[in-house]
Structure 1
């Protein structure tokens, strides 16, 4: 059978533009049973990717430190070829970690079975020594180095690494049992297909997937209330709230790829969530290119959507936020101090204003701003947008809003982590356009909350800031926010950050 490229069938643009019939757009609140189940999973989990990544760094550090300690013991404190030994120890440690990676020794099943992988770990460590010895022989420099020192390090380094592996295996089993390290999954679609999928997933050894329930729009006659021991917790519309509460990591759609219209209907609703969405391929007769699949054990999945800015990307972005937030606070502290004094002299009330806004995954966060309105006329819900010559705004307030100085306290939000420096701007929970909430104006509006909101964003530097006096303005903001999410990189963040002061010189829409 000819192979099919799944990218020709599903794309972000196709999903967003797909029309759902009116009868499919109903939504309802989460039922009590599902809410109770979701509440059991409120705590965030550790990502297996992050755990194995940190282990790589720890093993490299331990190998390097053990080599330096053996060098000190055998050779002395930097008494002979100090930088050469340090360079070789560094290189061999890095090479060993690379070989362990190529040997798949950082996969969760391998980490849980160190005894089974004893030979592969020893082989990777020995190969590092063999390649180094071969290089030294070719370069005719092997006689300059202590064989005793490297022999002792070979034994000591392996003992350290394998000992760490034994400890990690114990920790990972404990984390898996208490739910600290797992990938929480929901099965979308019930019936025989879901049952077959669940059985296949459960048969996988050392599986880190926890199935939290099943959601299906079909009634109990077509989709049983219990499938393979898991309850059907509600409809697809209820699933969205459940996934937000339970911090779901993955949704597995258990429908045949040939049911294209039904799959698109589901994706149209689900893509607003910050989760991995996979289409089960374990029972499909259609064949795809091998690189199109990901796997849970040996169960094949088609990757439809990935959670944006995940795992190490999130670490890099958080480090970016901390560094540049501290720099921003340092640079703008005189302006912030002067603004605080001006606000206090201009009108009665606190200097800072706190407002509840939608954050990552639709969670409510408190955002700091310099107060720009009279205290008795403030509008914490932002139900009534600020307009030109708004009488609620103070004299100082007009200036700091025009120049965006009122947003500077949000550097502290970014520092503590409730905001990112760059991302979709957080809107107040009751923000409206012509008496309609933004989510009622823009279909898929909440997809902009798949990443942490930002102090500045791609929409703002493209001119979409200030008053929202028509529906097109919030639609365009959302469109630019989605472009940012789909094309994120640290360089993109850096570009937006450095363009922000330049673009803020255009104050036409800021009141």
Structure 2
């Protein structure tokens, strides 16, 4: 199976295979101070990328609506004229947004200073309309357009953009002040190098980075407990627990490039988290090409890991989840009703079975299925996996498990946002093989929780469903899950959805 490589010789294989002598980092307890700070950052923030994207859409809509409104008001509705005015309005509005993007007018700094953007808006809007007028002249269709309408739209569009940007500026500044729109970062590593990095980030104008603190494995003699006003919150092992509580967006590793062994040791622990991981290049003498870096203001960073399925990708995926889950509920409503009646007639007890499983970022979620076992023998912890001819399974249960009908109530989990339609299958928190929990068997197991779990997944359509009775099965499933996360696309999700009913015909491993 192909692996996605990282820049600068850091690969997923290298991170996974590096041996960490200090053992697992997933049981480290954080200090009361770290827990208090993490609790302050429990809630999600508004992504600057998403805010900027919405501003683009709204500004485009504003120009289009003002053009259409003036056309209907002054020219009046004529179906024949629509083929002239419609394309012109759309093309001119889209051209303006593209030119504003090229001019950098959708950067946060510009959005917070609308008066400084006035000249650019005037130039762009004038250029877009002039270009459309020139095209109309050469195509000999300019006579079809009202000059009064064009002049009115020019004035209305310019005034609308300035008013809109003034409102956006006030909102962005307010959101930045109260912490609703920010990127939360944790520094890894202490000492003078981390202090210089923090000072450089804080000096950036219109900075959207909020530093929550820093973590370092070294003691206080080598790494002071407070750097640049920020507290040391614990060791790198404790950072895992911190990031499970706080909604962190970015981890910035402040270590020299030459400390390759130590960097790999850190990444071995941290790559399982659903965050961006950056290696600071601020104090390093070694320089790569500019395109190799991402930047916080003017502070260069090397991208090691990106949070998967983020920003607009998450919007697209969530939209598909809502649409397809509603469709699934409607289509399978008769099947679910018949199954509920059959379960009730077959054995006493509730129709649904609730089980706690690992969700996104290791958070526990309750997953609902049709009950397929005798109520007094149900195993909510899934400590004992269902095996072939398991006496705990009812007659109806055997059929609905083999056909995966027992999974249909999970459409409601998807609709509530606990699951996605496609993703790594959520395992019970006590799931195990050979009396070992899954994360004790598979190194990097928790990395599969960097995205929301799914009703079906890449492992399932490749034949890996049903009982997990040996270490190899959970290792292979985890590899398929990680491949899905590292190679996610909307087309991959659609492919998995298409293949799922076909693969369900093979029920050999479903008991």
Q: Do these two structures clear the TM 0.5 threshold for a shared fold by scoring above it?
A: yes
Provide closer, same or farther for how the CA distance between residues 24 and 427 of structure 1 changes in structure 2, counting only shifts above 3 A: closer
Once the two structures are superposed, residues 313-360 of structure 1 have per-residue CA deviations (whole angstroms, 9 ceiling, x without a partner) of 001101111121122222222211111110010011111111111111
**1:126 is aligned to 2:140:** no
CA distance in 1, matches of 2:79, 2:346: 69
CA contact (8 A) 1:352 1:368 kept: yes
CA distance in 2, matches of 1:122, 1:238: 52
Q: Distance in 2 between matches of 1:41 and 1:35?
A: 10
Kindly report which structure 2 residues correspond to 1:87-98, keeping only aligned pairs within 5 A, or say none.
Answer: 87-98=87-98
CA distance 1:22–1:29, shift in 2 (3 Å): closer
**For 1:381-400, what per-residue CA distance to the aligned partner results, in whole angstroms no more than 9, with x for missing partners?**
11111111212111101111
Counterpart secondary structure, 1:291: helix
Cα deviation, 1:217-258, whole Å, max 9, x if unaligned, reads 000011110000000000001101111211100000000111
Corresponding residue for 1:188?
Answer: 188
> How far did residue 79 of structure 1 move?
7.1
Q: Is the 8 A contact 1:355 1:366 kept in 2?
A: yes
1:171-217 per-position Cα deviation (integer Å, ceiling 9, x unaligned)? 11111111110000000000000000000000000000000010000
> 2:256 — aligned with what?
256
1:216-295 matches, within 5 Å, as 216-295=216-295
The residue aligned with 1:304 is 304
SS of alignment partner, residue 81 of structure 1: helix
- Secondary structure of 2:217's counterpart equals coil
Say if 2:84 and 2:144, in contact at 8 Å, map to a contact too: no
Does the aligned pair in 2 maintain the 1:438–1:474 contact within 8 Å?
yes
**Measured at CA, do residues 147 and 387 of structure 1 come closer, stay the same or move farther in structure 2, by a change above 3 Å?**
same
Aligned mates of 2:24, 2:489 — CA distance in 1: 35
SS in 2 for 1:427: coil
- Partner residue, 1:197: 197
User: Would the alpha carbon gap of residues 483 and 24 (structure 1) be closer, same or farther in structure 2, given more than 3 Å must change?
Assistant: closer
The residue aligned with 1:395 is: 395
Q: Which residue of 2 aligns with 1:375?
A: 375
Question: What's 2:140 paired with?
Answer: 140
Moved over 4 A (4+): 22-27
Give the drift of 1:78.
Answer: 2.8
Is 1:63 matched with 2:75? no
Distance 1:359 1:24, change over 3 A: closer
Match of 1:349 in 2: 349
User: Could you report, residue by residue, the CA deviation over 1:20-63 in whole angstroms, capped at 9, with x for unpaired residues?
Assistant: 23468685211111001100011110100001111111111111
- The CA distance in 1 between the partners of 2:65 and 2:6, in whole Å, is 47
Task: Measure, in 1, the Cα distance between the counterparts of 2:159 and 2:18.
Answer: 57
Cα distance change on mapping 1:95 and 1:436 into 2, 3 Å: same
CA contact (8 A) 1:6 1:288 kept: no
Matched, 1:117 2:124: no
Q: CA RMSD in A?
A: 1.4
Is structure 2 residue 86 aligned with structure 1 residue 108?
no
**CA distance in 2 between partners of 1:441 and 1:123 (Å):** 62
Q: CA deviation at 1:82?
A: 2.4
Please list, as runs of the form range in 1=range in 2, the aligned pairs for 1:426-441 lying within 5 A after superposition: 426-441=426-441
**Residue 202 to residue 403, structure 1, CA distance change in 2 (3 Å):** same
Taking a change above 3 Å as real, the CA distance of residues 260 and 24 of structure 1, as seen in their structure-2 partners, is: farther
1:446 and 1:375 map into 2 onto residues whose CA distance is: 31
Summarize deviations over 1:143-194 as a string: whole Å, max 9, x none: 2211111111111111111111111111111111111100000000000000
Q: TM-score, normalised by structure 2?
A: 0.97
Residues 456 and 366 of structure 1, relative CA distance in 2, 3 Å threshold: same
Aligned partners of 1:114, 1:201: CA distance in 2, in Å?
A: 24
Could you tell me how far apart the structure 2 residues matched to 1:457 and 1:45 are? 29
- 8 Å Cα contact 2:185-2:250 kept in structure 1: yes
Cα contact 1:6–1:292 (8 A) shared by 2: no
Matches within 5 A, 1:298-337: 298-337=298-337
**Structure 1 CA distance, aligned partners of 2:23 and 2:329?**
51
Q: Counterpart of 2:444? A: 444
> Residues 8 and 197 of structure 1: is their aligned pair in 2 closer, same or farther, counting only changes over 3 Å?
closer
Q: CA deviation at 1:140?
A: 1.9
Contact 2:28 2:241 in 1 (8 A): no
The residue number in structure 2 matching 1:492 is: 492
Q: Do the aligned partners of 2:355 and 2:367 also contact (CA within 8 Å) in 1? A: yes
- Structure 2 unaligned blocks of 5 or more: none
TM-aligned CA deviation for residue 288 of structure 1: 0.7
Question: For the Cα contact (< 8 Å) 2:7–2:303, is it kept in 1?
Answer: no
Give 1:386's aligned residue. Answer: 386
CA distance in 2, matches of 1:494, 1:509: 24
Secondary structure class of the residue paired with 1:481: helix
**Corresponding residue SS for 1:366:** strand
Query: Partner of 2:86 in structure 1?
Result: 86
